Amino acid sequence: MLEFILIMILPPIIVVASLTVVFGWGWMGKERVESDEHQGERGDKQKMR
């Protein structure tokens, strides 16, 4: 029974984790490019927060 639960639960977690890493990494790269383009704007945003 425990093995069945692990087989049912682990693959989706692995898929979600890998997708999160891929999208998070891509999003971070995009953010970095945008911050390089809009360095002044980003400084203003940080002041607002």
Cα(10)–Cα(18) distance, rounded to whole angstroms? Answer: 12
pLDDT at 33: 74
pLDDT at 20: 92
State pLDDT tens for residues 1-49.
Answer: 889 988 899 999 999 999 999 888 887 777 777 777 666 655 555 555 5
pLDDT at 19: 93
- Helix, strand or coil, per DSSP, at residue 49: coil
pLDDT at 45: 58
The overall pTM is greater than 0.95: no
Give yes or no for a contact between 41 and 34, defined as CB atoms under 8 angstroms apart.
Answer: no
Sign of the alpha-carbon torsion through 32, 38, 41, 43 = positive
pLDDT at 46: 59
